[in-house]
Structure 1
């Protein structure tokens, strides 16, 4: 209810051909279109603003092809991320994209927002995991770019326009996803740290560990851990003593028995260097799942704490510690006593920087300060050459900020692309630009 209005019609096509007919009819009638996937977006990109035809992809659920030899999976846009992961597993392959909403979010939405998640450190964003794409253009024409090629140097990589395009250039109807061999071994570690600076050094050390790849590196403050322990039943403190910061690290290897010795040696060296104060290695899949449950419960744990302002930001990895220091000081100046929570994907510089109302404060006063809080956080991000939207997208929520904070040349290029593909402005109007 925060954004949006009533659509004029909701249509659920079951194929690319049906989608094309709907879009062509809308173009002829000069009626705007809003593509919609699993409806898990957080910035309003999938929400009609009023009068549009909503095209929901919920009936487009086919796994079109699964090739272990090509390491590829071709799917309809309405396939959920979890279904794509399961289809890859059935041919003994891995589709590594993993986010909290994977049971509900759909591949079309994942592509349209260039979703990230916890495995970006090793495998990249969605942009790095799509080999080919199929989309219905704003005039109703279908572009079939469902190639399984790793190399194609014959012109512009057009699929990249639609990845992260939030449905403003066309309706994604299918995709060829890049698969990987399934790891033979995983190790999950949680470590207590004195500071984000120590986390940065530990990240560098983890990436240099032999025997496998550092797949995930998540940074978490003690305060958010304490809220998870307070509000989420069944979660236990991961270490015997409290630490200012924590890192959740996962390693994977294509060879069984390759990880234990180098990872233990890495932890010993990190302890000797003062980068960690304590650590625990998950000795079972159940214990590893408990570590990850704590990480994935953080947004839920904040809900009972009152008013909050949430920011999905990124900075160069080496700048994350200084960003946190500068942002904390900036927020304190405009909202004294605010409770600051930071957690997220340290390995790729993406931090979920959230601000909770001061304890005992008037929620209305906190709400009045949110514009000042947002400006303070975004100004710090600008100084560190970061992004105000790392993985959630622009949608409605960040549209005005993008217009103010991107270079004029960038906005001009984006508008030129939009005008070339959607001259009538009918595709997901009011989003991004």
Structure 2
């Protein structure tokens, strides 16, 4: 066990570097803010209004719209796209509608945009399985980045015990990440929530996406609970849940195993809360990447409370490119247990995932006010903590509290460059 020895040695490294001053009132203020700030969760009682038994009866006042009624075959072979579009148009146009994808059946659906706005209290009840065509060469080029996209919705519930399956194996084989002789191309995301608000997603399984599994984009007040995301550990760029340009997002009780970040949070996102997250396999829980191609990246107010990461290539990661601008600020990682994780705690301001090497640049995304509290477990790497920060834009106010990480032989180290903080 390392415990106090580990923390003291890390702080000692920082002090020798001359970048940790005495704890002043500013530090105390920041510490108190990080300890206490939280993102409120929505009251979940209203989802009980949409239990399946209630809307199957006529007395419930719900308008049941079954995709089978519009000619869906549900045999996994016939193209059911038009039946889904027709059912969507019907359900979207009536208040208190339930769009039902029945259990026990498999529906083949091509790339489709389901656009709102819709009438009030729409429920998408997915109990069956929706599968994508598995041949990339036949994919409609108009929908290069999407498979199932829902946009401009307000107050909509996605729920059920069903499966959304991207049939991604041929897409993965054609990726330049799998074979460098392949061209680097974008691939579809299985499920996208775009430009929406007041959306709840619960109970679903999203698997084998062509690229990213689930994107929340340019949306506000989205709650995701009891969702499972599953793709093979070697599937390229298959982020589990990707949050971009969104605010007030809650992820709770989700199990994610994939070939890339379990959760990734990128530019213009704030007030993100993750609670009770299982991650593995995958690349961990990441903020970034930010700042690629000299762009601006801003992420603020992120909370992770209670997570278990198993055999992931990274643990808690913040990654930015050189040359970017903007900031990552007010982030708290608490109550995280790790098992055989490489790079458990990582800030990397020299991240580079471009086909060619990245040039050295002085500007950088500023990273400050980051707390790691109650982080325990085992690591595969010698460096349990790595703060690789920019000399010109150092990391500041990094707070470590009760970090207890041990290697297989009990010996681990901390690496710090241009990082300022306290314990």
Between Structure 1 and Structure 2, the one with more strand by share is 2
- TM norm. shorter chain > 0.5: no
Scaled to the shorter chain, the TM-score interval is: under 0.3
Normalised by the size of structure 1, how large is the TM-score? 0.22
Higher relative contact order (CA 8 A, sep 6+): 1
Normalised by the size of structure 2, how large is the TM-score? 0.23
Between Structure 1 and Structure 2, the one with more helix by share is 1
